Amino acid sequence: MVKITLPDNSVREYEAGITGLEIARSISPRLAKEVLSISVNDETWDLTRPIHTDASIKLYKWEDEEGKHAFWHSSAHLMAEALEALYPGMKFGIGPSIENGFYYDVDPGDDVVLRDADIPKIEAKMKELARQKNAYQRREVSKAEALAFFEDKQDEYKLELIDELEDGTITFYEQGNFTDLCRGPHLPSSELIKAVKVLSIAGAYWRGDEKRKQLTRVYGITFPKQKMLDEYLVQLEEAQKRDHRKIGKELELFAFSQNVGQGLPLWLPKGARLRELLENFLKKVQVQYGYQQVITPHIGQKQLYETSGHYAKYGKDSFQPINTPADGEEFLLKPMNCPHHCEIYKVHPVSYKDLPIRMAEFGTVYRYEQSGELHGLTRVRGFTQDDAHIFCTPDQLKDEFKKVIDIILYIFKALDFKDFITQISLRDKDDHEKYIGSDENWEKAETAIVEACQERGMETIVEYGEAAFYGPKLDFMVRDAIGRKWQLGTIQVDYNLPDRFELEYMGSDGVKHRPVMIHRAPFGSMERFVAVLIEHTAGKFPLWLTPEQVVVLPISEKFNEYAKKVSEVLNNSDIRSVLDERNEKIGRKIRDNELKRIPFMLIVGENEAQSNTVSVRKQGDGDKGSMTIENFIQFINSEVKEQLAAIESK
């Protein structure tokens, strides 16, 4: 017999060899129909895998991330089975589950090119195979057996993956006529996959390396019910309407140029104004919390990043060294701001009375992302972080950390990000190569984050292996208006960079000590934050933030001078106004400016010019009647004040 501890800490006894599915069935027949995977002593397993020892378990359903992972990972194998059936001889790379669905990287061969026209055929085959109710069966093999199997299939991609595995047991998964190298976990059977959609076909370099062969990446998503797929497709259609690349072009916020380079955004005047408004908003908050603004160069000597450890960890993803006329002198475009801030700290001797020191910078950094991973503003090669570094004593650490939490929560509420989760990202203690610093410092940093979150009453999830290489962190994952998850704000605790840069302060005991360093970025990067904000609001920014608050529309050219006067008065009153004096009919002007999502339109003609008034239309709310220019200024200022007062009250 084995003792099985359930999540409520109750214990049940079963015969050794019991499976998760059988345990679920013993609890409730309904649970057995809904459960998708199981964790056994914190390791996720297949529901059909026998349990031979005492264990603590959790059963995962569709609502759980672990349940979705098993469902979509199994669906990736189902798609691979369909592709192999349709295109014999196809070779397979990797097929992971992702946040919304899954993909498989495949090599169809020189004679086959997968196109969008093939999608219906692939979907139909997947549905056919799912209806066969084939079991996903786990099989343990030796490394030699695994190599022999894929040598026989002449699949060099799987052989490369197996070569990198340590000697010992390797697992295969089989369903129907398909066998794959895989750790799992998987569903008990393909019959649970009821709704299938192949989303797109794209190119992807093998192992993300532009020097390797370009494979075909097939994206898909599946659900246990057709209704779920239908709802998802509606959401997907809405997401496409909100795509920040589309809206950014319509609103003339940013652009890209091949002559400048991939992944290097050009901020147009309206986009620059939006960024400036966001920066000024955060700067005002930072002043209230005692931050001082600093500015650092865009480049630094390579040695600086070797000292910090960034070059060893991210050198391959950095722009390669810039050589100067001086022999042996090498510079890098800076990948992070923190080494520069460490150097600022060292400019003057520091006493414990000077701490905490809070430095803030909107600093632009550069990382060489693969071209296939670039995506609008969300994945770029040059981006500006709303970066700050706090240098404090160990005793001040927790309070400083909590103050940063308060700043991030304030910003999220101000911009109407209501739905978010907070993730404590800790190190994987078994992966010693990934992190720098002593176990003692890591323990202190991790404890400070956990206690700070508890004292703020925050609900958190813990992810091991997601820490930065120099310290643990608290990440804020925001869900936008249509439910997509984005990682934005982050706070990181670091005992290691102060050691590497030999930072010191004189303590009250007359002895020199190391400060602790907090890295924080409430927005994350300006580029990604603006992208998420565009898609969250569909480009309809709050009045206090929108780059253009008012557009003045003369009915005809005769009234251009009066319209210009109105616009100038508004701009002189700190109301962001533009003038549309095109020789177009007023109906066309109204339609065009509605699409630009400008909150207010002021229509002026003969009556308005004679009475020194404006006819007011509000975005989404129609005609607001006639007002004097002074009354309109009071009206719009009142709306802005109400919005900002609502933010302050939060």
Beta-sheet strands, E only, within 495-598: 505-506, 512-513, 516-521, 550-554, 577-579
Annotated ligand binding at 338? The verdict is: yes
Which residue is catalytic, options 175, 286, 385, 423? 385
Query: Per-residue pLDDT averaged across 141-155, rounded?
Result: 94
Rounded mean pLDDT of the chain? Answer: 92
Supply the DSSP symbol for 290. T
pLDDT tens for 265-315 read 999 999 999 999 999 999 999 999 999 999 999 999 999 999 998 888 777
Q: Which two tokens stand for residue 104?
A: 């498989």
Reduced to 3 states, what is the DSSP secondary structure of residue 14?
A: strand
pLDDT for residue 462: 86
Query: Per-residue pLDDT averaged across 42-48, rounded?
Result: 93
pLDDT for residue 217: 95
pLDDT for residue 230: 96
pLDDT for residue 620: 83
pLDDT for residue 309: 87
Nearest Cα to 599, choosing from 624, 618, 580? 618
pLDDT for residue 23: 95
Instruction: For the chain, count helices (H), then strands (E).
Output: 20, 35
Q: How far apart are CA 310 and CA 588, in angstroms?
A: 54
CB atoms under 10 Å from CB of 65, counted, come to: 10
Q: Is residue 403 flagged as an active site residue?
A: no
State the pLDDT confidence band at 531, using cuts at 50, 70 and 90: very high
Q: Is residue 494 flagged as an active site residue?
A: no
Which residue is catalytic, options 341, 367, 427, 528? 367
Query: Per-residue pLDDT averaged across 377-382, rounded?
Result: 93
Give yes or no for a contact between 382 and 438, defined as CB atoms under 8 angstroms apart: no
**DSSP β-ladder status, 485-494 and 516-521:** antiparallel
Which residue is catalytic, options 338, 342, 392, 453? 338
Which residue is catalytic, options 513, 519, 536, 597? 519
pLDDT for residue 328: 80
HSE value, Cβ hemisphere, 13 Å, CA-based, for 514 = 12
Q: What are phi and psi for residue 473, nearest 5 degrees? A: -150, 165
Which residue is catalytic, options 46, 105, 107, 387? 387
92, pLDDT greater than 80: yes
Which domains are assigned to the chain? 2-61 (3.10.20.30), 67-241 (3.30.980.10), 268-537 (3.30.930.10), 550-649 (3.40.50.800)
Q: Tell me the DSSP string of 552-599.
A: EEESSGGGHHHHHHHHHHHHHTT--EEE---SS-HHHHHHHHHHTT-S
Long-range contacts of 230-234 (CB under 8 A, 24+ apart): 232/100, 232/197, 233/197
Give yes or no for a contact between 37 and 47, defined as CB atoms under 8 angstroms apart: yes
pLDDT for residue 156: 95
Q: Would you put residue 335 in left (φ > 0), alpha (ψ -120 to 50) or beta? A: alpha
Q: How far apart are CA 143 and CA 183, in angstroms?
A: 14
What b/e readout covers 404-442, taking b as 16+ CB neighbours within 10 angstroms?
Answer: bbebbbbbbebbebeebebbbbbbeeeeeeebbbeeebb
Q: How far apart are CA 123 and CA 119, in angstroms?
A: 6
pLDDT for residue 513: 96
State the pLDDT confidence band at 650, using cuts at 50, 70 and 90: low
Q: Is residue 389 flagged as an active site residue?
A: yes
pLDDT for residue 268: 97
Q: Which two tokens stand for residue 602?
A: 């002021």
Annotated ligand binding at 244? The verdict is: no
Reduced to 3 states, what is the DSSP secondary structure of residue 317?
A: helix
Q: How far apart are CA 551 and CA 546, in angstroms?
A: 12
pLDDT for residue 598: 95
Query: Per-residue pLDDT averaged across 410-423, rounded?
Result: 88
Considering the entire predicted model, what is its pTM?
0.84
Q: How far apart are CA 151 and CA 159, in angstroms?
A: 7
Q: How far apart are CA 386 and CA 394, in angstroms?
A: 24
CB atoms under 10 Å from CB of 89, counted, come to: 13
Q: Which two tokens stand for residue 19?
A: 């499976």
**DSSP β-ladder status, 419-426 and 460-464:** parallel
Q: Is residue 116 flagged as an active site residue?
A: no
CB atoms under 10 Å from CB of 598, counted, come to: 23
Q: Which two tokens stand for residue 299?
A: 């480049």
Q: Is residue 387 flagged as an active site residue?
A: yes
**DSSP β-ladder status, 178-181 and 170-175:** antiparallel
* Percentage of residues of the chain with pLDDT beyond 90: 77
Q: Is residue 413 flagged as an active site residue?
A: no
Supply the DSSP symbol for 460. E
Q: Which residue has the higher pLDDT, 431 or 3?
A: 3
93, pLDDT greater than 80: yes
pLDDT tens for 178-223 read 999 999 999 999 999 999 999 999 999 998 888 899 999 999 999 9
Annotated ligand binding at 392? The verdict is: no
Which residue is catalytic, options 91, 186, 389, 536? 389
Q: Is residue 342 flagged as an active site residue?
A: no
Which residue is catalytic, options 91, 244, 270, 473? 473
pLDDT for residue 146: 95
Q: If you count them, how many residues does the chain have?
A: 650
557, pLDDT greater than 60: yes
What b/e readout covers 115-125, taking b as 16+ CB neighbours within 10 angstroms?
Answer: eeebbeebbeb
For tokens 């700067």, what's the residue?
283
Beta bridge pairs of residue 18? 51
**DSSP β-ladder status, 382-392 and 330-333:** unpaired
Angle made by CA atoms 336, 298, 323, in degrees to the nearest 5: 105
pLDDT tens for 225-259 read 999 999 999 989 988 999 999 999 999 999 999 99
State the pLDDT confidence band at 370, using cuts at 50, 70 and 90: confident
Quote the distance between the C-alpha of residue 368 and its chain's center: 18
Provide Rg for the chain, Cα atoms. Answer: 29
State the pLDDT confidence band at 480, using cuts at 50, 70 and 90: confident
Q: How far apart are CA 539 and CA 13, in angstroms?
A: 57
Q: Measure CA of the first residue to CA of the last residue in the chain; give whole Å.
A: 56
Nearest Cα to 215, choosing from 397, 69, 80, 389? 80
